[in-house]
Amino acid sequence: MEKLGNPTEVWISSLKNRATEDGFYLYELHEMGSGMWENGVFVFPTPQDFGKFTYALELFDYVYFEDWEEIDESEDCTALFQHLFQQREKEWTFEDCIHYVSTFKPSCIELIKFGEIRDLIDVSEETFEKCKGINTSKDELEEVGLNEAEYQILHKYSQEAKGRPKDDCLCFLEFINKWG
């Protein structure tokens, strides 16, 4: 475990990343307990930074937010740790990140989308207008041609800002930073 590093420190370090026009985002849902879920946005300067974060995601999911130092000593975690080392040391591409998010099968964290912040900034007027509306289901989002991450992020932004992210890029980046 010492070789991988403390996953809590990796998580907290990721929360300190700052959104940039050339950066990346992860939109996720996580269980808060008692069946309550909360959404969040993590930002990463590069796909490689996301790759280093994946081991913390998987380890937290493995122990389901228990104290990682209290994993049963008799439990053989060799395969898990080998996998986590490979995840952390891999050379990550944007496509690798998208694939990882689409195949991650969590118990307490649901990864919705990995994307480029630039795509949110450059959203069309038509899409931004669609995001201002209230959509309560994934089916409704599909009907108007939106994905959940895009809708949730841009809908929340539309409640706080007067225009599209492109109209005030710095304001949008600060919005993302506050959310993360």
Give the per-residue pLDDT at 70. 55
Per-residue tokens: 20: 């940039």
Reported pTM: 0.86
Phi and psi, residue 101, nearest 5°: -60, -40
Give the per-residue pLDDT at 65. 44
Reading the chain (180 residues) residue by residue, the pLDDT tens digits are 667 778 788 888 888 999 999 999 999 987 666 667 778 899 999 999 999 899 888 877 766 544 445 555 555 677 878 888 888 889 999 999 999 999 987 667 788 999 999 999 999 999 999 999 887 788 888 888 888 999 999 999 999 998 999 999 999 999 999 987
Give the per-residue pLDDT at 137. 81
Give the per-residue pLDDT at 109. 79
